[in-house]
Amino acid sequence: MYHPYHAHVEEPEVQKLPNDPILMTSELRNLFFILVYILIDVSLKLFANVTGTLDDHGSCQCSVYLPDTSFPVQKAEQLQVIATTLIQKFETELSQVREYSKRIELYQQQILNITIRVEHMEQSSISYTELDFQLLKVEISDLERLVTQLKSSVVGSNVIIDQIYLEIMNLTILVNELESMDKNNILAIRRQIVSLQNQLRECENSKNITVVPPSFPPGSCIHRGLLNVSQPYVVKLNWKGFSYKYGSWGRDYSPSEPEKEIYWVAPLETNGRYFEYFRIYGSFDDLLLYKTMYERRLRYGEGSGAVLYNNYFYYHVYGSSNIAKYDINANSVVLSKALPSATVGNRFSYAGVSWQDIDFAVDENGLWVIYSTENSMGNIVISKLNETTLDVLNTWQTRQYRPSVSNAFMVCGILYATRILSTRKEEIFYMYDTNTGEEGSVSVIMDKNLETIQSLAYSPADQRLYVYNDGYLVRYDVTFQH
């Protein structure tokens, strides 16, 4: 017979977990046992109600499918272990949260203190110093560092920590604004005062220190080459006037009488090519007073590359490759001779200066000529001349393209070339040592009063550069390396 049987286990009421973390640990244990009861109840429900049928003989037949009747002890133990592990992790996290809560309370109090101080600084009319701002910045920086560490140690986002971090950033901006809006400009005034004090101190120190540039006897080459040049000293306008922008001038150098003062000024005609008259002055004072020793007339001179050396005037003959030697005392041309292979016709003149194909130079070693040839393809060629016969004693070919330099001069057998940097600056940028055959770069800046340097002559007599600058006579002192 069918006997209905129903095994029923009362389902426990599931309660909500409390908010307090300590109470939550005990409720987790209760939750474990509730899960066990539910498992038993589900097992009983699988076979509690069974239905059957009668066969032809009146016998009751039924089919019962019994589950595993043994209680799942291993699963229950596993659940207990998992529950215990969860409880331990929860207690660890709870202790960290308590610690973070204490830190957050401390940070909130510090932020409140800083906020009160900043509000006081905003409202107060009393000036505040840079130290006040620096202390505030240090405190805010510490808060920012601590909150950043706190954010990195908390998994996920935390609204309170994010709010604290935002307040710190706002404080930083506010302090920077306050510093920039110092009501009495005390910080700016204080910095200005310090700057002025430093300038006065430097001025006093510079008065007490006298810098003596390296000095070498005129005509000697015991130095190690060019070191620097002075600021330009404008002597005067050339004797023909402002329209005569091209020409040359300088001081004669006589090895036998190095102290003797003879100056020449040779303006070209206004076309910048033809050269006819020049004047000789017996002293620098005579030059300033236009007191001429004598005026000479040359026929058919060309370009602004002439020089005066040991009472002889050397120049390029107009429309040819000849160079000439002129006796200023006898007022006559002594010698004229072709310069071998020299390219003329304004083909390889200096940059910005026309018709200076042949440029004479004088230094401690004697007479030189600077030019170009077709074989050198426009690069600078240096030749040492016999001042008596005008014969070429030796020649050096450089790798510097002549039309790319603005002018050149010789010092102790070393060629120095200049280039234009701007309308007010020139640079001595290239050198070639005929003593060693070495060439290289240098950098010495020359200030100039006007744009174009038409000629540049060095005198060993006083170790100065004589520059013809758009009609004005200008000179520079030269210093050498020890």
Please report which confidence band the pLDDT of residue 3 belongs to, taking 50, 70 and 90 as the band edges: very low
Kindly tell me if the per-residue pLDDT of 48 is higher than 80: no
The answer to whether 4 touches 49, Cβ cutoff 8 Å, is yes
Domain 225-481 has CATH 2.40.128.630: yes
What does the pLDDT average to over 40-64?
Answer: 63
> What pLDDT, on the 0 to 100 scale, is given for residue 182?
57
Range among 80-94, 188-202, 414-428 with highest mean pLDDT value: 414-428
- Which of 90-104, 174-188, 335-349 is predicted least confidently? 174-188
Please report which confidence band the pLDDT of residue 73 belongs to, taking 50, 70 and 90 as the band edges: confident
Residue 319, Cβ neighbours under 10 Å: how many?
A: 12
Task: Name the token pair of 204.
Answer: 């006093």
The 3-state DSSP class for residue 410 equals: strand
> What pLDDT, on the 0 to 100 scale, is given for residue 298?
87
Kindly tell me if the per-residue pLDDT of 19 is higher than 80: no
- Which of 25-39, 149-163, 397-411 is predicted least confidently? 25-39
- Which of 36-40, 214-218, 248-252, 425-429 is predicted least confidently? 36-40
DSSP single-letter state for residue 13: P
Measured CA to CA in angstroms, residue 61 lies from 4, 47, 49, 66, 276 at distances of 14, 16, 15, 16, 150
In whole angstroms, give the CA distance from residue 315 to residue 303.
Answer: 8
Kindly tell me if the per-residue pLDDT of 407 is higher than 60: yes
Q: Which of 351, 254, 264, 353 is nearest to 307 (CA)?
A: 264
Kindly tell me if the per-residue pLDDT of 17 is higher than 50: no
User: Which one is predicted more confidently, 19 or 416?
Assistant: 416
What does the pLDDT average to over 15-41?
Answer: 52
The pLDDT tens digits of the residues spanning 112-137 come to 777 777 776 666 544 556 666 676 67
> What pLDDT, on the 0 to 100 scale, is given for residue 49?
55
**Residue-wise burial string across 9-46, b where 16 or more C-beta atoms lie within 10 A, e elsewhere:** eeeeeeeeeeeeeeebeeeeeeebeeeeeeeebebeee
> What pLDDT, on the 0 to 100 scale, is given for residue 12?
43
> What pLDDT, on the 0 to 100 scale, is given for residue 68?
53
Measured CA to CA in angstroms, residue 446 lies from 155, 170, 230, 428 at distances of 68, 54, 8, 7
The domains of the chain are located at 69-120+135-205, 225-481
> What pLDDT, on the 0 to 100 scale, is given for residue 86?
82
Please report which confidence band the pLDDT of residue 331 belongs to, taking 50, 70 and 90 as the band edges: very high
Please report which confidence band the pLDDT of residue 143 belongs to, taking 50, 70 and 90 as the band edges: confident
Kindly tell me if the per-residue pLDDT of 66 is higher than 80: no
Residue 294 pairs in a beta bridge with: 280
Residue 437's region, left for phi above 0, alpha for psi from -120 to 50, else beta, is: left
User: Which one is predicted more confidently, 181 or 468?
Assistant: 468
Range among 19-28, 160-169, 182-191, 432-441 with highest mean pLDDT value: 432-441
Kindly tell me if the per-residue pLDDT of 32 is higher than 60: no
Nearby residues of 100 by Cβ (< 8 Å), 6 or more positions away: 150, 154, 161
Kindly tell me if the per-residue pLDDT of 34 is higher than 80: no
Kindly tell me if the per-residue pLDDT of 10 is higher than 50: no
Q: Report the mean per-residue pLDDT for the chain.
A: 81
> What pLDDT, on the 0 to 100 scale, is given for residue 99?
79
Measured CA to CA in angstroms, residue 357 lies from 302, 322, 344, 374, 436 at distances of 9, 11, 5, 12, 26
